[in-house]
């Protein structure tokens, strides 16, 4: 949510930002908020004046009563009663208009950074840099589900019986490899000075609406029936929510945390759930990172954070690239965002494995996350980044470390988490 001062002082900037995000249907909201804000402030000014007059008149009543000027005192009392009614009416108008303003402000997109490329959707995202040489072996690489099944590492039939489409059982060495990647990612972030945390996996609606837009919420979140609780789609939600309504001491900044959680997503939309594999599923595990920092430090942290993900994937022998998200691909709360994509030698193209975003003070403004400095109390900036999501990272690892005989080389950084094992061999090839 943007600062309403922007609408008061520079409506055209807010409108131009909306146009860059190709959301012209929201342009009228800016003028509506502007006009309602004027009425709120007018009502406030009038109510304040009436309260001041009321206080002065109330002080006169005692003096009149003391001088036995009963009729004059009663006349003032009647005027005060009328004023009190008018104040109550003005406060009701303020409350209703304030509610209407907030409902509109919640859907007006955040001001994007000037460096964000303008484009309608993800097809216009811009490649910035590649890390590692993408290779295509001379032999065929099977679809990831076939690789895993050949290693006896997945049971989709059973998950279909227990849970339906979009779920899976990981088994044996593949399950262990998935955990190894998450453990390595966790330890990598701890070594970078991030505090490790396991957060709640359910959060209340006021936290949900504080960390994401309504459109994202409807497309992603599972609601617990009969309770004000939602299953998290990423631990960023509960990690940022941890600081709701807090004034954080300046000496505690920046706050840098890395968190593990399962993630639950409806995956509503055109993409759909993948029936055979694990690329797009309802449940997966993820290591996440979040940062709360001073406004002037947010871009510096943004650069650091996405590079951490690049290094983790390169340490697992996976080529990746950074893709700058264009204006039309940014969620409404985001100031700037990029995707990290891993190379798929099977498809001979890159696919998304993580996303890094800075949201400016949008989440902090919605959740009341502040700090106090020489110039008073102000909102912090929040950032988040995928360290590693187990399903997509697993696909990238299997394809980039696949041997012609069906075995999988285990990257050196993961071998300590696999009991020293260097390769996973298909069940039929084991001796």
- Tokens read off for 250: 């300046």
pLDDT band of residue 374 (cuts 50, 70, 90) is confident
What confidence score (pLDDT) does residue 431 get? 43
- Tokens read off for 416: 């300590």
Strands 255-264 and 195-197: parallel
Determine the Cα angle at 351 with ends 345 and 354, to 5°. 130
User: Is the confidence at residue 98, as pLDDT, over 80?
Assistant: yes
Phi, psi of 232 (to 5 degrees): -70, 145
Going 10 to 13 to 16 to 18, the CA torsion angle's sign is: negative
pLDDT band of residue 238 (cuts 50, 70, 90) is very high
What confidence score (pLDDT) does residue 65 get? 72
The rounded distance, in Å, linking the Cα atoms of 405 and 418 is 21
What confidence score (pLDDT) does residue 272 get? 63
Cβ burial, residue 85 (10 Å; 0-12/13-18/19+): exposed
What confidence score (pLDDT) does residue 54 get? 84
Residue 156 DSSP code: H
Cβ neighbours around 345 below 10 Å, total: 17
Structural domains of the chain, ranges and CATH numbers in brackets: 4-105 (1.10.287.40), 122-429 (3.30.930.10)
Cβ neighbours around 123 below 10 Å, total: 9
End-to-end CA distance of the chain: 61
Cβ burial, residue 215 (10 Å; 0-12/13-18/19+): exposed
> For 182-198, what is the mean pLDDT?
98
The rounded distance, in Å, linking the Cα atoms of 391 and 155 is 14
pLDDT band of residue 428 (cuts 50, 70, 90) is low
What confidence score (pLDDT) does residue 79 get? 86
- Tokens read off for 350: 């890159």
- List pLDDT tens digits, range 397-416: 999 999 999 999 999 999 99
Mean pLDDT of the chain: 93
Q: What percent of the chain has pLDDT over 70?
A: 97
Contact of 310 with 426, CB cutoff 8 Å: no
- List pLDDT tens digits, range 20-73: 999 999 999 999 999 999 999 999 999 999 988 888 877 777 677 777 778 777
- List pLDDT tens digits, range 108-142: 999 999 999 999 999 999 999 999 999 999 999 99
> For 156-173, what is the mean pLDDT?
95
In angstroms, the Cα distances linking 385 to 19, 288, 338 are 27, 6, 9
Q: Report the SS3 class of residue 185.
A: helix
Residue with tokens 């059982």: 169
């Amino acid at each position: 949510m943007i600062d309403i001062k922007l609408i008061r002082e520079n409506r055209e900037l807010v409108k131009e930002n909306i146009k860059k995000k190709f959301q012209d249907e929201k342009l009228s909201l800016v003028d509506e908020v502007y006009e309602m804000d004027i009425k709120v402030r007018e009502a406030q000014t009038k109510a304040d004046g009436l309260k001041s007059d009321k206080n002065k008149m109330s002080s006169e009543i005692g003096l009149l009563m003391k001088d036995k000027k009963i009729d004059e005192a009663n006349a003032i009392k009647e005027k005060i009663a009328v004023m009190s009614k008018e104040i109550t009416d003005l406060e009701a108008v303020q409350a209703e208009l304030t509610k209407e303003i907030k409902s509109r402000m919640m859907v007006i997109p955040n001001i994007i950074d000037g460096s964000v490329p303008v484009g309608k959707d993800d097809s216009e995202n811009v490649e910035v840099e590649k890390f590692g040489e993408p290779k295509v072996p001379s032999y065929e690489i099977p679809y990831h589900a076939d690789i895993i099944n050949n290693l006896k590492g997945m049971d989709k039939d059973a998950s279909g019986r227990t849970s339906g489409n979009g779920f899976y059982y990981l088994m044996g060495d593949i399950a262990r490899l998935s955990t190894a990647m998450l453990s390595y990612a966790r330890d990598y972030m701890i070594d970078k000075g991030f505090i490790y945390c396991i957060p709640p996996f359910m959060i209340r609606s006021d936290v949900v609406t504080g960390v994401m837009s309504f459109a994202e919420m409807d497309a992603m979140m599972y609601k617990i029936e009969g309770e004000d609780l939602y299953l998290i789609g990423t631990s960023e939600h509960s990690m940022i929510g941890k600081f709701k309504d807090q004034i954080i001491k300046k000496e505690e900044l920046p706050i840098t945390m890395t968190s593990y959680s399962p993630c639950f997503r409806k995956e509503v939309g055109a993409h759909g759930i993948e029936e055979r594999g694990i690329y797009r599923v309802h449940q997966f595990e993820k290591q996440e990172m979040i940062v709360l920092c001073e406004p002037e430090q947010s871009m510096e942290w943004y650069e650091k954070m996405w590079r951490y993900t690049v290094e983790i994937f390169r340490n697992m022998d996976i080529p990746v690239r950074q893709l700058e998200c264009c204006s039309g691909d940014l969620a409404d709360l985001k100031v700037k965002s990029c995707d990290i994509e891993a190379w798929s030698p099977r498809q001979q193209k890159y696919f998304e494995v993580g996303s890094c975003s800075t949201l400016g003070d949008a989440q902090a403004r919605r959740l009341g996350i502040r700090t106090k400095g020489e110039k008073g109390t102000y909102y912090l900036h929040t950032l988040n980044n995928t360290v590693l999501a187990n399903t997509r990272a697993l696909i990238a690892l299997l394809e980039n470390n696949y041997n012609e005989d069906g075995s999988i080389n285990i990257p050196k950084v993961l071998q300590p988490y696999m009991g020293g094992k260097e390769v996973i061999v298909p069940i039929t090839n084991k001796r």
